[in-house]
Amino acid sequence: MTTLQTRMLRSAAAGFVGTLAVAGGIAAYAQAIAGHNSNAPVNYAADRIELQDRQNRVVLSGNVRIDQAGLTLNAARTLVDYTDAGSLRIQRIMATGGVTVARGNERARGNVAVYDFNRRIITMAGDVRLNRGSDTLNGGRLVIDLRTGVSSVDGRASGSSSVTGAQGGSGGRVTGTFSVPKN
């Protein structure tokens, strides 16, 4: 592995939430998400909403849009798990079907995403693609820790996360493209 590749991988792992900076190119990939307020109210809209009281779950399907403090999640379907101890409290959102998470000009796409409110972690898997302007980063799995501001990108969607099993489109490697400033 070349020195440039090593630097790019280190930067990518430090990334999407913190400052995913690839040597000389991708600067501050997802700083906007690093400051996300995960305690803010959650707004939602969908073509169909089904409340499953006994399971403490809400199923949203068809053009799902969930917003929280400027962070937007779009998907075909989501399952929202909650607790009801006097007041409703979201525990976890699992989204499937062309999932996009965006804030400002940063966007992450994947096949599946889980937002764990208790741990303050967003995990995306399956053909993950990060975009900021013309800069891109591709992999199999992305884990965003909103508490620490640290994230990691793996070439394959595997590991101890609750989102596993999907293969990334990059053949097990993290790949990307970044713009080089013109002199």
- The pLDDT tens digits for 27-55 are 334 445 556 677 788 899 999 999 999 99
pLDDT of residue 115: 93
**Residues sharing a CB contact under 8 Å with residue 152, sequence separation 6 or more, in sequence order:** 12, 13, 15, 142, 143
**36 and 71 in contact (C-beta within 8 Å)?**
yes
**157 and 125 in contact (C-beta within 8 Å)?**
yes
Residue 50 lies in a domain: yes
* Distance of alpha carbon 19 from alpha carbon 9, whole angstroms: 13
Q: Which residues of 97-108 are buried (b: 16+ CB within 10 A; e: fewer)?
A: eebbbbbeebbb
Residue 182 lies in a domain: no
Count up the domains in the chain and report the number: 1
Residue 68 lies in a domain: yes
Closest CA to 12 of 145, 170, 167, 174: 174
Residue 71 lies in a domain: yes
Q: What CATH number is associated with residue 120?
A: 2.60.450.10
pLDDT of residue 1: 40
Indicate the Cα dihedral angle 156, 139, 115, 158, nearest 10°.
10
pLDDT of residue 21: 31
Over residues 95-123, the pLDDT tens digits come to 999 999 998 888 999 999 999 999 989 99
